[in-house]
């Protein structure tokens, strides 16, 4: 089980603008400290945490943050419309388009996904695989 994901950022303010454009809509709560940003799903009293948490922090070694080639973090949305809305919100908040929301021929018929880059260049996917919605094949 993945417990958490951390990405580096040289500009925490820009990262905050980008990630708060869509993570709260997916249920994530933000905790901001001097060490950076931490996003977690709420925990009901007496329940175990819902993992993974997502952190955005300056690099530990003090060198410039860089995006991992081939690395990507994916966040699940509840619907195809939510993917479209959150993708647009993330673009408006400083992200760049890495693939417009839609179906991809190489994925399952209900896998609807949009890709982004955060201001640091980290690749993010927003997807829905809701089988109650129309799939790629109609």
Asked if the model's pLDDT at residue 103 lies above 90, the reply is yes
pLDDT score at 15: 98
pLDDT tens string 2-50: 899 999 999 999 999 999 999 999 999 999 999 999 999 999 899 988 8
Let me know if residue 45 belongs to a domain.
yes
- Say which CATH number the domain at 17 has: 3.10.180.10
pLDDT for 137 equals 87
| 40, 53 Cβ separation under 8 angstroms | yes
What pLDDT score was predicted for residue 30? 98
pLDDT at 50: 87
Q: Which domain holds residue 30?
A: 4-58+71-128
Please check whether residue 90 lies inside any domain of the structure: yes
Say what the pLDDT of residue 49 is. 87
In a domain, 80, yes or no: yes
* Cα–Cα distance measured from residue 97 to residue 94, given in angstroms and rounded to the nearest whole number: 10
* Cβ–Cβ < 8 Å for 130, 110: yes
- Whole-angstrom Cα distance, residue 8 to residue 56? 6
64 within domain boundaries: no
User: 57, 11 in Cβ contact below 8 A?
Assistant: no
Cα(76)–Cα(81) distance, rounded to whole angstroms?
12
Q: What percent of the chain has pLDDT over 70?
A: 100
In-domain check, residue 96: yes
Measured CA to CA in angstroms, residue 72 lies from 48, 55, 101, 116, 123 at distances of 26, 14, 16, 10, 5
- Our count of domains for the chain comes to 1
Report pLDDT for 10: 96
Q: Is residue 36 part of a domain?
A: yes
Whether residue 112 is contained in a domain is answered as: yes
Residue 121 pLDDT more than 90? yes
6 with 68: CB under 8 angstroms? no
Separation CA 134–CA 46 (nearest Å): 37
Whether 136 is in a domain gets the answer no
pLDDT digits (tens, 9 = 90+) for 61-99: 999 999 988 899 999 999 999 999 999 999 999 999 999
């Amino acid at each position: 089980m993945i417990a958490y994901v951390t990405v580096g950022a040289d500009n925490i303010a820009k990262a905050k603008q980008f990630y708060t454009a869509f993570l709260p809509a997916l249920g994530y709560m933000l905790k901001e400290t001097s060490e950076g940003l931490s996003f977690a799903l709420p925990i009901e009293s007496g329940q175990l945490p819902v993992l993974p948490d997502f952190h955005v922090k300056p690099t530990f070694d003090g060198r410039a943050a860089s995006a991992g080639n081939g690395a990507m973090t994916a966040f699940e949305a509840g619907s195809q419309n939510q993917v479209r809305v959150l993708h647009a919100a993330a673009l408006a908040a400083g992200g760049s388009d890495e693939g417009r929301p839609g179906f991809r021929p190489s994925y399952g018929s209900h896998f609807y996904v949009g890709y982004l880059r955060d201001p640091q260049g980290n690749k993010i996917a927003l997807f829905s695989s809701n089988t109650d919605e129309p799939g790629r094949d109609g």
